[in-house]
C-alpha cells in the first residue's frame, strides 16, 4: 500500500531560522519525541545524503530505522527518507513559513506499507496523523518553553 498523508501544521513562536536549524539537526529528535535515539552515522555536517540511525518513539520497544536527508532549502524546507526495519518506507517533506506569531511547520509524507491490506489503509493513515500531531505539539512546547539545547547545520 502507498499513501500520501496530509498532516496538520503547527505555528511555533520562534524565528524560522531557529526552527529550521533545530529540526534539521536530527540528533535533536529525541528532545521533542520524534525518536527515542538518533545518531549520525555518516561523517561531516548535515547535508543532502547525511544518514542517521534511529530508534522510533512510536512503540514501547522501538523500531530501528535509517533516515537519510534528501533535500535542504534553508530556512524554508527539508526532506528525508526513513526506512524502518519492518519494511515500511516514508518520504517526508517539512515546509516552514514565516507567519505572524512565528513559524508555520507543515509536514507531508508518502508512505509505503508492504503487507498492509487495502481495507486497513484509512486506519493506518489516521494513526500516523494522530502520532505526528502529538510530535508537533511536543516540538512546539520544546522550542517555545526552552531555548534549543542543540543547533543544526
* Residue 68, pLDDT score: 97
Q: Which residues are CB-neighbours of 102 under 8 A, at least 6 positions away?
A: 11, 12, 13, 14, 15, 19
What average pLDDT does range 128-140 have in this prediction? 90
The C-alpha cell that represents 43 in the structure block: 561523517
146, pLDDT greater than 60: yes
Could you tell me which CATH class the domain 2-145 is placed in?
alpha beta
30 or 116, higher pLDDT: 30
- Per-residue pLDDT of 46-94, as tens digits, reads 999 999 999 987 667 788 999 999 999 999 999 999 998 988 899 999 9
Please state the pTM of the whole predicted model: 0.87
- String of DSSP letters for 45-102: SS-TT-EEEEEESSSSS--EEEEEEEEEETTTEEEEEEEETTS-EEEEEEEEEEETTE
Question: Rounded mean pLDDT of the chain?
Answer: 89
Amino acid at each position: 500500500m502507498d499513501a500520501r498523508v496530509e498532516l496538520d501544521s503547527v505555528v511555533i513562536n520562534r524565528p524560522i531560522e531557529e526552527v529550521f536549524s533545530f529540526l534539521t539537526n536530527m540528533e535533536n529528535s529525541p528532545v521533542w519525541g520524534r525518536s527515542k535515539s538518533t545518531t549520525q552515522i555518516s561523517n561531516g555536517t548535515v547535508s543532502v545524503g547525511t544518514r542517521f540511525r534511529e530508534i522510533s518513539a512510536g512503540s514501547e520497544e522501538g523500531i530501528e530505522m535509517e533516515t537519510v536527508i534528501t533535500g535542504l532549502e534553508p530556512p524554508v524546507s527539508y526532506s528525508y527518507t526513513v526506512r524502518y526495519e519492518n519494511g515500511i518506507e516514508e518520504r517526508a517533506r517539512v515546509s516552514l513559513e514565516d507567519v505572524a506569531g512565528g513559524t508555520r511547520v507543515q509536514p507531508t509524507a508518502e508512505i509505503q506499507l508492504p503487507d498492509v491490506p487495502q481495507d486497513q489503509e484509512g486506519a493506518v493513515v489516521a494513526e500516523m496523523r494522530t502520532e505526528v500531531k502529538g510530535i508537533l505539539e511536543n516540538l512546539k512546547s520544546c522550542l517555545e518553553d526552552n531555548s534549543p539545547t542543540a543547533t543544526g547545520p
